[in-house]
Amino acid sequence: MDFSLAGMTVLVSGGTRGIGRSVVEEFSREGANVAFCARSGYDVQVLEEQLSGARGRIEGSVVDVGHPGSLAKWVSESALSFGGLDIVVSAATAMALDDTDENWGVSLSIDLMGTVRLVKAALPHLELSSAPSIVAVSNVSGREADFAAGPYATAKTALAGYMAGLAFRVAPLGIRANTVTAGNTYYRGGVWAILEETDPEAYEAAVARNPTGRMGTPQEVADVVVFVSSPRASRVTGANILVDGGLSRGIQL
């Protein structure tokens, strides 16, 4: 399927690891121009080099999305450099699980307010696009009580609520806003890969809870993010789309 993304400009926060990285890679395969950011300069450089042969223009930046000024500057400079913005994907996460005051602060700053500020900075540019779209990447821990209950999960719950309200507010402007909620996603260097090494029993128990008998991949989530972001999903807004292999049991009415 042609997602009609060639030549469009996409902004991705948290774009060098896990789901965010796969999102950047998939947009680049579709011929989109992609501006992405992350905190590690090394990771940004590596991904830029790996995608140097992409059809579209790829540009990485070192940005701490928890710093309002840096985030707004990146959005503004990217829009100016690329001549506008069409799609914004918020994939940055602090992945702060432990119930500490520090983790509560960083989760709200990165996972929630990082998205809120990203959207606010991007909206004036998205209003000028012919097919504007916003997607936030969330996690099933935000909709069901599980091992991650605490700072991380609460921030993800709030994120889904924010995106639903945002979709309602920006619909008259022709802008779509959706959440893509991932289940347990395995990738090298990720939390599940680490747990597989440090606590094999806990890892196997987590795998067993999924009716598919496996964890998901970043690519499987990215495929949904790219479709939902694209003009081909023009009637989809205000949705919270699960990509979890049936892990969640709740019925969405």
Taking 70 as the threshold, does the pLDDT of residue 34 lie above it? yes
Residue range(s) defining the domain that contains residue 93? 9-187+217-243
Task: Please tell me which residue in 42, 152, 162, 203 is annotated as part of the active site.
Answer: 152
What CATH number is attached to the domain comprising 80?
3.40.50.720
Q: What is the mean pLDDT of residues 218-226?
A: 98
Q: Are 142 and 96 within 8 A, CB to CB? A: no
Strand 176-182: give its sheet, edge to edge: 58-62, 33-38, 9-13, 87-90, 133-139, 176-182, 240-243
Q: List 33's β-bridge partners, or say none.
A: 9
Domain assignment present for residue 195? The answer is no
pLDDT for the residue numbered 95: 87
Residue 43 φ/ψ, nearest 5 degrees: -65, -40
Q: What is the mean pLDDT of residues 220-230?
A: 98
pLDDT in tens, 16-25: 999 999 999 9
Domain assignment present for residue 249? The answer is no
Taking 70 as the threshold, does the pLDDT of residue 126 lie above it? yes
Taking 70 as the threshold, does the pLDDT of residue 12 lie above it? yes
Residue 150 φ/ψ, nearest 5 degrees: 140, -145
Number of domains in the chain: 1
Domain assignment present for residue 84? The answer is yes
> How confident is the prediction for the chain on average, in pLDDT?
95
pLDDT for the residue numbered 199: 92
Q: Among this protein's residues, is 152 annotated catalytic?
A: yes
Domain assignment present for residue 2? The answer is no
Domain assignment present for residue 99? The answer is yes
Domain assignment present for residue 65? The answer is yes
Cα distances from 228 to residues 4, 89, 189, 194, in angstroms, run 12, 11, 27, 30
Domain assignment present for residue 194? The answer is no
pLDDT for the residue numbered 2: 86
C-alpha closest to that of 129 among 86, 166, 171: 86
51 pLDDT band (50/70/90 cuts)? very high
pLDDT for the residue numbered 148: 66
Domain assignment present for residue 198? The answer is no
The whole-angstrom separation of Cα 153 and Cα 94 is 11
Q: What percent of the chain is modeled with pLDDT above 90?
A: 89
Taking 80 as the threshold, does the pLDDT of residue 252 lie above it? no
